[in-house]
Structure 1
Amino acid sequence: MPGQIDWIELPAADTGKARTFYGGLFGWGTSEFGGDYHVIDNGPAGAIAPREDGFTHPRVYFTTEDVDASVKRVHELGGTSEDVQTVPGVGRIAHCHDDQGTPFSLYEPAAQS
């Protein structure tokens, strides 16, 4: 459903410490997806990822049926976006800011065959 929260990412300066913290708090386990990116196994759909410039707060991904059309609409409404990225086997994403500077991301799932 468009607009539904599909995925969250929690940034961490030390992903090992973050996994220990959230594991202790909520009982979450994680699986390494690649590099230092760890998918949450038994909690919300999301991951614990390395903190980077511009990625210092939780990132929320909203589902869209057409990420290109949604990015165009973001711009029409006064927001901004980075380029659309393809994540092989996952779908397409775009990191955006609304017209007040609040960050969010858009996610178009990969076509199911």
Structure 2
Amino acid sequence: MSGQVNWFELPADDTARARAFFAGVFGWETSPMGEDYHFITNGAKGAIAAKDAQLTQPRIYFHTTDIDASVRKVTDLGGKSDDVQAVPDVGRIAHCWDDQGTPFSLYEPKA
């Protein structure tokens, strides 16, 4: 359903330390995917990732069935969006900001 939170990313300077912290708090287990990106395998749908210039604070992804239409709505309503990116075998994403500068992301699953 469009608008539901379906993924999040928690950035960390030290992902091993962050994984240990959240394992202690929530019992989360993780599985590596790529370089320093770790899927949460037994909890909320998300990941712990290395902090970088693009990922400095938690990022929330909202589901959409038509990312192109959603991006148009974002910009029509005064927000901003980066270009839509294809993620192989996953779907398409776009990083956006609302009309007050709050970051969020959109996710359209692979058909």
| TM-score bracket for this pair, using the shorter chain length | over 0.9
Could you say what secondary structure the match of 2:33 adopts?
A: strand
- TM-score (structure 1 length as normaliser): 0.95
Could you say what secondary structure the match of 2:23 adopts?
A: helix
Give a deviation string over 1:54-106, Cα, whole Å, max 9, x none.
42211100000111111111000000011111111110000000000000000
Q: Distance in 1 between matches of 2:15 and 2:84?
A: 26
Task: Give the share of equivalent positions with the same residue, in percent.
Answer: 64
Matched, 1:27 2:45: no
Give a deviation string over 1:16-42, Cα, whole Å, max 9, x none.
110011011111000001111100011
Q: Which amino acid aligns with 1:29?
A: E
Stretches of structure 1 that go unaligned for 5 or more consecutive residues are none
What does residue 109 of structure 1 align with? 109
Q: Which amino acid aligns with 1:72?
A: R
Give the CA RMSD over aligned residues: 0.7
Q: Which amino acid aligns with 1:74?
A: V
Q: Distance in 2 between matches of 1:21 and 1:52?
A: 20
Q: Distance in 2 between matches of 1:51 and 1:16?
A: 12
What does residue 79 of structure 1 align with? 79
What does residue 56 of structure 1 align with? 56
Matched, 1:3 2:3: yes
Aligned residues: 111
Stretches of structure 2 that go unaligned for 5 or more consecutive residues are none
Q: Which amino acid aligns with 2:53?
A: D
Q: Which amino acid aligns with 1:82?
A: D
Q: Distance in 2 between matches of 1:89 and 1:54?
A: 22
